[in-house]
Amino acid sequence: MDFWASFWNIIWFFVSAFIFIAYLIALFSIITDLFRDRELSGGLKALWFIALIFVSLPTALIYLIVRGKGMAERSRKNIEESTRAAEDYIRTVAQVSPSDEIAKAKALHESGAITAEEYEHLKARALGTSSASVPQQ
């Protein structure tokens, strides 16, 4: 009997820990959204924050019900901006001109690392033309 009592105590501990961690994640998401919102005045932000500290569970539920849709929109917008910034950065860093690619392919062809057919394929790809239009030898 003692084994089953301790077994259910362990299960209860894990369920409680899961609920607590989920609540903390929700709370941090709410606080992040609160400071991300540009439409909300500083006084209202402070009011929401104080309410979250003193009456946290009901305030968190009210915030999610009242401002949940806007919270999702702000999060989506932030993700899109981050993705766009990362893609722009990657483009600026990794940008290689077609002439550079052709020069590299020519050097590989001259060294014997690739065949003439592979060189033509790389050249066509660098120029943006279809590899089907390149004549096969």
- What is the pLDDT confidence band of residue 9, given thresholds at 50, 70 and 90? confident
Please provide residue 85's backbone torsions phi and psi, each rounded to the nearest 5 degrees.
-65, -40
What does the pLDDT read at residue 133?
47
- What is the pLDDT confidence band of residue 1, given thresholds at 50, 70 and 90? low
Listed range (5-9, 84-88, 120-124) with the worst mean pLDDT = 5-9
- Summarize the confidence of residues 99-107 as an average pLDDT: 87
pLDDT for residue 118 is more than 50: yes
- Distance of alpha carbon 81 from its chain centroid, rounded? 10
What does the pLDDT read at residue 101?
84
**Tokens representing residue 129 in the block:** 């033309």
Token pair 């089953």 is at which residue? 4
User: Same structural domain for residues 33 and 75?
Assistant: yes
Residue 6 inside a domain? The answer is yes
User: Same structural domain for residues 76 and 114?
Assistant: no
User: Same structural domain for residues 70 and 47?
Assistant: yes
- What is the pLDDT confidence band of residue 4, given thresholds at 50, 70 and 90? low
Structurally, how many domains does the chain consist of?
2
Q: Domain of 115?
A: 98-132
User: Same structural domain for residues 103 and 58?
Assistant: no
User: Same structural domain for residues 109 and 76?
Assistant: no
Query: Helices 42-54 and 2-36 meet at what angle, rounded to 10?
Result: 170
User: Same structural domain for residues 47 and 31?
Assistant: yes
pLDDT for residue 132 is more than 60: no
Give the HSE-up count for residue 110: Cα atoms under 13 Å, Cβ half-sphere. Answer: 6
User: Same structural domain for residues 55 and 14?
Assistant: yes
User: Same structural domain for residues 43 and 78?
Assistant: yes
Sequence-distant (6+) residues with CB within 8 A of 133 are: 124
User: Same structural domain for residues 26 and 53?
Assistant: yes
- What is the pLDDT confidence band of residue 5, given thresholds at 50, 70 and 90? confident
Q: For residue 48, give the 3-state DSSP assignment.
A: helix
Sequence-distant (6+) residues with CB within 8 A of 136 are: 117
Please provide residue 73's backbone torsions phi and psi, each rounded to the nearest 5 degrees.
-65, -45
pTM strictly above 0.75: no
pLDDT for residue 131 is more than 60: no
User: Same structural domain for residues 84 and 110?
Assistant: no
